[in-house]
């Protein structure tokens, strides 16, 4: 016994010493506190968001002397600071409030006086954000990534000027390889000025000081619908204004889009699809929004206490000095790259929201890994056919691979397998049966082409479908995999079974 | 042993053996990214590479680590690898040493 414990102590000690021993390749690497006027690195990553910080850690793990510059003063980018993470905190906690208020009685739980403490809800959100952003700084230290707090801009194709913030020292970094990962920012709506008080962007929408009585949202995409869910649960009357005839944005299967719209309408959200926003102006404590029906041309004005503009995001490369060194942007201001993330300069690569593809944190992370591997190893991997998307409403919506419309357009013969959560035992016991799982498979080979889920925890369930797609699995492969009972994941198995045979429980 | 537990369904997924670092034949010619909506890259991409002498990608690499370099810990000699943790040891850790 004693010998085992002492052996364990030895193993911890030896692991610890391996983890903390400075390697020769990091000899030049100085911490932020010791940053001199000039520094040299194998890799400099500009931007510390999900793409940038992951690229920096991977490059360091591959033995490259790596640095990352971030101008926000906190790592994690939009996702951790003002995007995915704070919105998920609000979505989760607003859901609990709503459940206690409206859903507990039928479950046999009688609750007395229920009150909303919005300030505490915001505090809980901020604490989650602080812990996660602080965690990345720890990961940088653990992996020996030099962290520059400041704004980076190109001096020439190998030199980046870092204008320090928070009392740091301005530094000129010479880097053999540079990865641009500067992310994106909310797209402004022409003619509508965001003041982050009455008219807010997604950044303002996660930090409203009080629950607006009437909230209007321009844009029925994922950001708009998630914020609509939060504030509707907390008591706002929410109206969503969408120019297109359907909600959910590009990529969402149209059957899924129609179903989730009905479910959200049942929750009290109002939709004005096929509606063009002509303008909006603040009048005292109200916002007047002028609308036009895209089909009939009929005009109307609606009034809200707060207006959220959520019409999408655009690449952010301002102040980077790309024009100085001649790096091309396309017509949508995305940095042009080749198939190995290289710009015109082979040693300057670009990943994430500021270049082609969907603006998703996990897509940027994959590209960050691939870019670091290309630098060190000459090869990397991202399967753009298997990038999952999730909308964290309730029920959640998640999909991966092709939609039914895309498969139809390709002319390929296909099967559809669907299974409703209404027939799933765990969903029944949870009293949460909205939604379904839908597989689209190749009719000839049974290979899975896409999977679309509406339901509680769809964002977790889609990982199984993503793994199946990545491995090139058939619906039968999934259906013949034993799933624990009773779980929501059985709906995935049954939907797969439905794609090539018949479901058992429906 | 595991094969014997599977009755007759043969999954589409195949194991192709442990990954080995293939000698990459590096093609330095820039190619369109799969998500690039444009038909071709700007001409500056090819033009720059014709005249440039750079670090990194322009230096032809085999894709293999250089002599004396390793990519992952498992490639190091055994004395540098993490010690194998036995189940009993894990139990001791999990129980806070109160076995």
**3-class secondary structure for A185-235?**
EECCCCCCCCCCCCEECHHHHCCCCCCCCEEEEECCCHHHHHHHHHHHHCC
Q: Is A378 annotated as a binding residue?
A: no
The confidence band for B21, taking pLDDT boundaries of 50, 70 and 90, is low
Q: Tell me chain B's radius of gyration from C-alpha atoms.
A: 24
Instruction: State yes or no: pLDDT of A11 exceeds 80.
Output: no
CA distance A279 to A291: 7
What is the model's pLDDT at position A250?
77
Domain boundary assignment for chain A? 37-186+315-377, 199-311, 395-500
Q: What is the pLDDT of residue B13?
A: 73
Distance of alpha carbon A188 from alpha carbon A180, whole angstroms: 23
Residue A120 CB neighbour total at 10 angstroms = 10
* Predicted pLDDT of residue A31: 42
What is the pLDDT, as a whole number, of residue B23? 53
Q: Is A88 annotated as a binding residue?
A: yes
At CB < 8 A and 24+ separation, what contacts does B87-93 make?
B88/A4, B89/A4, B89/A7, B89/A8, B89/A11, B92/A4, B92/A5, B92/A8, B93/A8
> With an 8 Å Cβ cutoff, are B11 and A473 in contact?
yes
Contact check, Cβ <8 Å, B56/A480: no
H helix intervals, A107-150: 118-143
Whose CA is closest to A45, among A23, A60, A30? A60
- Identify the CA nearest to A350 among candidates B39, B35, B53: B35
Cβ–Cβ of A4/B97 closer than 8 Å?
no
Nearest to A254 by CA among A409, A106, A380: A409
User: Which pLDDT band holds residue A20 (cuts at 50, 70, 90)?
Assistant: very low
Give the per-residue SS3 of A3-21.
HHHHHHHHHHHHHHHHHHC
Choose the closest CB to A346 out of B9, B56, B71: B56
**Which residues in chain A are contacts of B62 at CB distance < 8 A?**
378
Least confident range from A321-325, A354-358, A484-488, B5-9: namely B5-9
Chain mean pLDDT for chain A: 92
Q: Tell me the per-residue pLDDT of A81-139, one tens digit each, with 9 for 90 and over.
A: 999 999 999 999 999 999 999 999 999 999 999 999 999 999 999 999 999 999 999 99
Nearest CA in chain B to A3: B89
- Distance from the Cα of B30 to chain A's closest Cα (Å) equals 6
CA angle A246, A265, A114 (to 5 degrees): 140
The domain A199-311 having CATH identifier 3.40.50.970: the answer here is no
Q: Do A378 and B24 touch (CB under 8 A)?
A: yes
Q: Which CATH superfamily is domain A395-500 in?
A: FAD/NAD-linked reductase, C-terminal dimerisation domain (3.30.390.30)
pLDDT of residue A15: 35
Which range (A147-156, A283-292, A339-348, B10-19) has the least confidence? B10-19
- What kind and span of H or E run contains A29? none
The one-character DSSP state at A57 is H
CA atoms of A47 and A198, how far apart (whole Å)? 30
Contact assignment for B24 to A340 by CB distance below 8 Å = no
Name the band, by pLDDT with cuts 50, 70 and 90, for residue A33.
Answer: very low
Q: Does residue A349 contact residue A343 with C-beta atoms inside 8 Å?
A: yes
CA A504 from chain centre, in angstroms, equals 35
Is B16 part of the contact surface with chain A (CB cutoff 8 Å)? no
* A93 within 8 A of A174, measured Cβ to Cβ: no
Q: What is the mean pLDDT of residues A257-261?
A: 97
Contact of B82 with chain A, judged by CB distance below 8 Å, is answered with: yes
ipTM here: 0.78
Given a cut of 80, whether residue A474 has pLDDT beyond it is yes
Instruction: Name the percent of chain B lying above pLDDT 90.
Output: 10
Q: Is A122 annotated as a binding residue?
A: no
State which residue of chain A sits closest to B51, comparing Cα positions. Answer: A345
Confidence (pLDDT) at A502: 96
Task: Name B61's Cβ contacts closer than 8 Å, sequence gap at least 6.
Answer: A378, B24, B26
pLDDT at residue A465 greater than cutoff 70: yes
**Residues whose CB is less than 8 angstroms from the CB of residue B17 and which lie 6 or more positions away in sequence, other chains included:** none
CA-wise closest residue to A147 among A131, A165, A130: A165
Residue pair A162/A149 in contact (Cβ under 8 Å)? The answer is no
Which one, of A359, A353, A418, A428, lies nearest residue A182 by Cα? Answer: A353
In this structure, is the dihedral angle defined by the CA atoms of residues A69, A71, A74 and A79, taken in order, positive or negative? negative
Q: How far is CA A473 from CA A450, A454, B12, in A?
A: 11, 22, 5
What integer pLDDT is reported at residue B30 of this predicted model? Answer: 86
Residues B33-76 have pLDDT tens digits of: 999 999 999 999 988 877 765 444 444 455 566 677 766 777 77
**According to the annotation, is A362 in a ligand binding site?**
yes
CA triple A83-A49-A134, angle to 5 deg: 85
B35 CB neighbours in chain A (<8 A) are 356-357, 384
Residues forming beta bridges with residue A147, ordered by sequence position: A68
Query: What integer is the mean pLDDT of A299-306?
Result: 98
For residue B36 the two structure tokens come to 């690039």
CA distance B85 to chain A (A): 9
Active site residues of A: 485
* CATH placement of domain A37-186+315-377: 3.50.50.60
Set of chain A residues whose Cβ sits within 8 Å of the Cβ of B48:
344-346
Query: Is A225 labelled as part of a ligand binding site?
Result: yes
d(CA A420, CA A433): 8
Q: Which residues pair with A415 in a beta bridge?
A: A441
Summarize the confidence of residues A192-214 as an average pLDDT: 97
- To the nearest whole Å, the CA of A11 is away from the closest chain B CA by 7
Exposure on the CB side of residue A488, measured as CA atoms within 13 A: 23
The Cβ of residue A429 has, within 10 Å, a number of other Cβ atoms equal to 10
Q: What percent of chain A has pLDDT over 90?
A: 91
Supply the pLDDT for residue B63.
Answer: 56
Tell me the pairing of strands A313-315 and A184-186.
antiparallel
Q: A443 phi and psi, to 5 degrees?
A: -60, -35
Query: Which residues of B fall within a CB distance of 8 Å from A339?
Result: 30-34
β-bridge mates for residue A240, sequence order: A217, A271
Q: CB distance A338–B44 less than 8 Å? A: no
Are A199-311 and A395-500 equal in CATH topology?
no
Q: How many CB atoms neighbour CB A359 within 10 A?
A: 18
pTM, entire model: 0.84
Answer whether B48 sits within 8 Å of A345, measured CB to CB.
Answer: yes
């Amino acid at each position: 016994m004693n010998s085992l414990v002492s052996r364990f102590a030895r193993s911890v000690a030896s692991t610890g010493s391996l983890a903390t021993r400075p390697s020769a390749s990091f000899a030049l690497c100085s911490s932020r506190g010791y940053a001199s006027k000039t520094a040299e690195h194998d890799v400099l990553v500009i931007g510390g968001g999900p793409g940038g910080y992951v690229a920096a850690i991977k490059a360091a793990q591959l033995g490259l002397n790596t640095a990352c510059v971030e101008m926000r003063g906190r790592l994690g980018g939009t996702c951790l600071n003002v995007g995915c993470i704070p919105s998920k905190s609000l979505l989760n906690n607003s859901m609990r409030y709503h459940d206690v208020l409206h859903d507990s009685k039928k479950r046999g739980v009688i609750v007395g006086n229920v009150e909303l403490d919005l300030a505490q809800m915001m505090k809980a959100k901020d604490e989650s954000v602080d812990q996660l952003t602080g965690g990345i700084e720890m990961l940088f230290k653990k992996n020996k990534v030099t962290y520059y707090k400041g704004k980076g801009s190109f001096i020439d194709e190998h030199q980046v000027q870092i204008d320090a913030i928070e009392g740091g020292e301005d530094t000129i970094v010479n880097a053999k390889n540079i990865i641009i990962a500067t992310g994106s920012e909310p797209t402004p709506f022409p003619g509508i000025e965001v003041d982050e008080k009455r008219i807010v962007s997604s950044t303002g929408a996660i930090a409203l000081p009080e629950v607006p009585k009437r909230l209007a949202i321009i844009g029925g995409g994922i950001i708009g619908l998630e914020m609509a869910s939060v504030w509707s649960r907390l008591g706002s009357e929410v109206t969503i204004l969408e120019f297109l005839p359907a909600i959910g944005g590009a990529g969402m299967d149209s059957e899924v889009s129609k179903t989730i719209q009905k479910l959200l309408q049942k929750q009290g959200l109002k939709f004005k699809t096929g509606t063009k926003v002509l303008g909006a102006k603040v009048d005292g404590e109200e916002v007047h929004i002028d609308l036009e029906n895209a089909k009939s041309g009929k005009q109307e004005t609606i009034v809200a206490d707060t207006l959220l503009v959520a019409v999408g995001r655009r690449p952010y490369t301002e102040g980077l000095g790309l024009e100085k060194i001649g790096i091309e942007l396309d017509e949508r201001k995305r940095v042009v790259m080749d198939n190995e993330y290289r710009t015109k300069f082979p040693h300057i690569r670009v990943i994430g929201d500021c270049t082609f593809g969907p603006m998703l944190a996990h897509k940027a992370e994959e590209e960050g890994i691939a870019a670091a591997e290309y630098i060190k190893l000459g090869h990397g991997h991202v399967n753009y056919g298997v990038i999952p998307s999730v909308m964290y409403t309730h029920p959640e919506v998640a999909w991966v691979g092709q939609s039914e419309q895309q498969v139809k357009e390709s002319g390929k013969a296909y099967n559809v397998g669907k299974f409703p959560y209404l027939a799933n035992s765990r969903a029944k016991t949870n009293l949460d049966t909205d939604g379904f799982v839908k597989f689209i498979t190749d009719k000839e080979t049974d290979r899975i082409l896409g999977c679309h889920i509406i339901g509680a925890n769809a964002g977790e369930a889609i990982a199984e479908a993503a793994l199946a797609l990545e491995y090139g699995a058939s619906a039968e492969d999934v259906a013949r995999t034993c799933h624990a009972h009773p779980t929501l994941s059985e709906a995935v198995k049954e939907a797969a079974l439905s794609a090539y045979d018949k479901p058992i429980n429906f | 042993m595991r094969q014997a537990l599977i009755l007759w369904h043969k999954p589409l997924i195949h194991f192709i053996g442990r990954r080995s670092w293939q000698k990459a034949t590096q093609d330095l010619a820039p190619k369109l990214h799969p998500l690039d909506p444009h038909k071709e890259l700007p001409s500056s991409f090819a033009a720059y590479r014709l005249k440039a002498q750079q670090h990194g990608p322009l230096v032809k690499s085999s894709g293999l680590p250089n002599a004396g370099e390793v990519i992952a810990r498992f490639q190091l000699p055994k004395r540098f690898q993490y010690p194998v943790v036995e189940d009993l040891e894990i139990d001791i850790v999990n129980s806070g040493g109160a076995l």
